[in-house]
Amino acid sequence: MQAEQRHSIRKKISLNIVVNHDLAYSERWKVRDLSLSGARLEAARNGLLPGTPVEAVLTLKEHDGYGLHRVPADVVRVDRDGVALRFRRYDDRTYTALVNFLYSS
C-alpha cells in the first residue's frame, strides 16, 4: 500500500461537512482535519468503501460572508475512527477559500 502524500498543510479543525453519495444519500459529519487535497472525517462508515466517489459540501468564509463549496472527492481510507477523503479537481473560488481558511491564523 502506498503512503499518503501531503502537498499542503493539514489543519486540525472542528467543522461540519455534508457528504453526498449516490444522489440519495447525504450525511453531516465532523471534519477532524482539512488540507487543500483532502479531509479526515469523524464518521461511521455507513457502507463507504475506499474508491467510493462522493461530494463534500463545505461552508467556508468568503469576503464578508460564507460560501457553499461542492468538492468532488474519493474515499481513500476507512477505519474505526472515520473516513479519509481525497479531493479531486475543484474550482478557483474553492481553492481561494481553502487557502484563506488553512493559512489564516
* Residue-range domains of the chain with CATH: 11-103 (2.40.10.220)
Q: pLDDT at position 3, please?
A: 43
pLDDT by residue, tens only, the chain of 105 residues:
444 444 566 777 778 888 888 776 788 889 999 999 999 998 776 678 899 999 999 998 877 888 999 999 999 999 888 899 999 999 999 999 999 888 885
Q: pLDDT at position 13, please?
A: 74
Classify each residue of 37-58 as buried b or exposed e, where b means 16 or more C-beta atoms within 10 Å of its C-beta.
bbbbbebeeeebeeebebbbbb
Q: Which residues contact 77 (CB under 8 A, 6 or more apart)?
A: 4, 50, 83, 84
Q: pLDDT at position 16, please?
A: 83
